[in-house]
């Protein structure tokens, strides 16, 4: 008993010191991970000029574990954007141009019997990467669209009844043509709901485009120079994203902020209380919307060094999370009333509750 009495204080001190050491390690790991992600974001911004908000929301989507639908004109550096992003983290970049003759096999891959080796072999499709650019996704047939969207949701593909897992770091940036364009197959609401956010972008200012031209000239010069040095040397790994996601998941969602999110969702559902909303909205948004708002807000809070989300984090991401989930009535479309117009009304009413 005497020995135990002597050892007990030492054991308590050791436990406290160990706990403090773990807290210190966690603190510095979080600080280093955030610093790495912010540096990677800056590197992408340095390559893709004039699209800071797009790049910012892209990182939010990745850290929240979601996928993004992009609406915008051609020539806004989508390929450069995703390629640069993949390069930052030693990731595998895949680009798939969606056309009417693209098949699910092109995306998922296929098995064949190798007679020379006497065994079945698997050839991976374009979904077996980390950063996927799905260009003009609504030009493919519904069957092919479903192959990609199911993989986004499930994290695996089925080949001859066998599950083949995709990477845990799997991010899709999809683009689509304007609704109603010739040769397109509109994505159903249930499919659109699988995207965390929809981002609407346009061309940069002329002053920024001038810098883009200069940058392109420099890259061309570098390409044909004797050194041919790679200007996109990777600095980080996919583990950086994995650790960042773990930390993002630990960002607190307070009851007050969660109540604010639920008020926003409730406005789309209790339309009998809000006649202006009922006039323009066909159907309410589902639970994926509220979950998506919270997750995107967590990622934004983490990027800004906060351990708890605020109403400002919600306001920053809510339009992007809800935009593609709001189906407008014919009256709204006839009056050129956009989803963003409706979202402004929804947010105003939620804040008044």
Indicate if the pLDDT at residue 185 is higher than 60. Answer: yes
Burial class, 80, CB count within 10 angstroms (exposed 0-12 / middle 13-18 / buried 19+):
middle
DSSP 281: B
pLDDT band at 86 (very low <50, low <70, confident <90, very high): very high
- Structure token digits, residue 119: 């065994």
Q: Decide: helix, strand or coil at residue 174.
A: strand
pLDDT, position 220: 85
Q: Span 207-229, mean pLDDT?
A: 81
Strand partners, 68: 173, 197
For the stretch 110-141, pLDDT in tens is 999 888 888 889 999 999 999 999 999 999 99
pLDDT, position 325: 94
- Its sign, for the CA torsion 80, 151, 323, 42, is negative
Burial class, 313, CB count within 10 angstroms (exposed 0-12 / middle 13-18 / buried 19+):
buried
Whether residue 120 is found in the same domain as residue 170: yes
Kindly report the CATH number assigned to the domain that includes residue 128. Answer: 3.40.50.300
Whether residue 199 is found in the same domain as residue 263: no
**CB atoms near residue 13 (< 10 Å):** 10
Is residue 238 assigned to a domain? no
Indicate if the pLDDT at residue 3 is higher than 70. Answer: no
132 phi/psi in degrees, rounded to 5: -110, 130
Whether residue 176 is found in the same domain as residue 48: yes
Strands 162-165 and 119-124: unpaired
Is residue 258 assigned to a domain? yes
Whether residue 205 is found in the same domain as residue 146: yes
Indicate if the pLDDT at residue 212 is higher than 90. Answer: no
For the ranges 285-299, 303-317, 335-349, the lowest mean pLDDT is seen at: 335-349
Whether residue 133 is found in the same domain as residue 191: yes
Q: Span 247-259, mean pLDDT?
A: 97
pLDDT, position 170: 97
Is residue 182 assigned to a domain? yes
Strand partners, 200: 71
pLDDT, position 186: 84
Whether residue 277 is found in the same domain as residue 350: yes
Is residue 189 assigned to a domain? yes
| pTM of the full structure | 0.88
pLDDT, position 14: 54
Whether residue 56 is found in the same domain as residue 171: yes
Whether residue 297 is found in the same domain as residue 156: no
Is residue 26 assigned to a domain? no
Instruction: Quote the CA–CA distance of 266 and 221 in Å, as a whole number.
Output: 56
Whether residue 206 is found in the same domain as residue 314: no
pLDDT, position 18: 53
Instruction: Quote the CA–CA distance of 173 and 226 in Å, as a whole number.
Output: 35
Please, are residues 13 and 6 in contact by the beta-carbon 8 Å criterion? no
Instruction: Quote the CA–CA distance of 218 and 215 in Å, as a whole number.
Output: 5
Scanning the chain, the segments in alpha helix (DSSP H) are: 2-47, 52-63, 78-88, 104-108, 142-154, 189-192, 206-223, 238-249, 255-269, 275-280, 287-303, 311-322, 330-334, 339-352
Count the domains in the chain: 2
Q: Decide: helix, strand or coil at residue 23.
A: helix
Q: Span 327-336, mean pLDDT?
A: 89
Instruction: Quote the CA–CA distance of 301 and 81 in Å, as a whole number.
Output: 23
Is residue 3 assigned to a domain? no
Q: Decide: helix, strand or coil at residue 50.
A: coil
pLDDT, position 5: 60
Is residue 21 assigned to a domain? no
132: nearest Cα among 92, 190, 73: 92
pLDDT, position 229: 54
Indicate if the pLDDT at residue 9 is higher than 80. Answer: no
pLDDT band at 198 (very low <50, low <70, confident <90, very high): very high
Instruction: Quote the CA–CA distance of 44 and 197 in Å, as a whole number.
Output: 20
Instruction: Quote the CA–CA distance of 11 and 315 in Å, as a whole number.
Output: 49
Whether residue 287 is found in the same domain as residue 173: no
Domain end, chosen from 171, 206, 224, is at: 224
pLDDT, position 2: 55
pLDDT, position 180: 60
pLDDT, position 76: 84
Kindly report the CATH number assigned to the domain that includes residue 313. Answer: 1.10.8.80
Name the residue range of residue 299's domain.
Answer: 250-353
Whether residue 216 is found in the same domain as residue 268: no
pLDDT band at 184 (very low <50, low <70, confident <90, very high): confident
Indicate if the pLDDT at residue 233 is higher than 80. Answer: no
Whether residue 150 is found in the same domain as residue 94: yes
Q: Span 26-35, mean pLDDT?
A: 87
% pLDDT > 70, the chain: 90
- Rounded to 10 deg, the angle between the 2-47 and 78-88 helix axes is 150
Is residue 17 assigned to a domain? no
Indicate if the pLDDT at residue 56 is higher than 60. Answer: yes
């Amino acid at each position: 008993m005497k020995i135990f009495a002597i050892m007990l204080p030492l054991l308590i001190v050791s436990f406290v010191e160990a706990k403090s050491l773990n807290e210190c390690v966690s603190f510095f790991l979080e600080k280093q991970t955030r610093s790495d992600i912010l540096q990677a974001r800056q590197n992408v911004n340095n390559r893709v000029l004039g699209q800071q908000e797009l790049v910012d929301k892209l990182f939010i989507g990745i850290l929240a574990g979601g996928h993004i639908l992009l609406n915008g004109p051609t020539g806004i550096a989508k390929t450069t954007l995703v390629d640069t992003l993949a390069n930052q983290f030693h990731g595998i970049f895949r680009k798939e141009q969606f056309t009417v003759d693209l098949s699910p096999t092109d995306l998922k891959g296929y098995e064949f019997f190798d007679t020379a080796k006497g065994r079945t072999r698997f050839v991976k499709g374009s979904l077996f990467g980390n950063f996927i650019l799905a260009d003009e996704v609504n030009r493919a047939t519904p069957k092919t669209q479903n192959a990609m969207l199911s993989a986004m949701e499930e994290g695996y593909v089925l080949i001859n009844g066998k599950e083949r897992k995709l990477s845990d770091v799997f991010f899709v940036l999809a683009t689509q043509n304007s609704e109603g364009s010739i040769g397109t197959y509109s994505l159903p609401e249930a499919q659109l709901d699988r995207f965390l956010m929809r981002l609407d972008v346009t061309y940069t200012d002329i002053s920024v485009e001038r810098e883009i031209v200069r940058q392109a000239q420099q890259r061309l010069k570098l390409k044909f120079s004797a050194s041919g040095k790679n200007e996109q040397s990777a600095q980080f790994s996919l583990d950086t994203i994995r650790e960042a996601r773990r930390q993002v998941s630990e960002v607190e969602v307070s009851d007050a902020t969660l109540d604010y999110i639920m008020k926003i969702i409730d406005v789309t559902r209790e339309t009998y209380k809000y006649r202006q909303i009922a006039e323009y909205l066909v159907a309410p948004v589902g639970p994926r919307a509220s979950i998506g708002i919270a997750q995107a807000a967590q990622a934004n809070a983490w990027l800004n060094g906060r351990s708890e989300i605020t109403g400002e984090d919600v306001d920053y991401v809510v339009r992007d999370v809800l935009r593609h989930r709001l189906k407008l009535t014919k009256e709204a479309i006839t009056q050129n009333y956009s989803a963003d117009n409706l979202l402004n009304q929804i947010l105003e009413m939620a804040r008044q509750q």
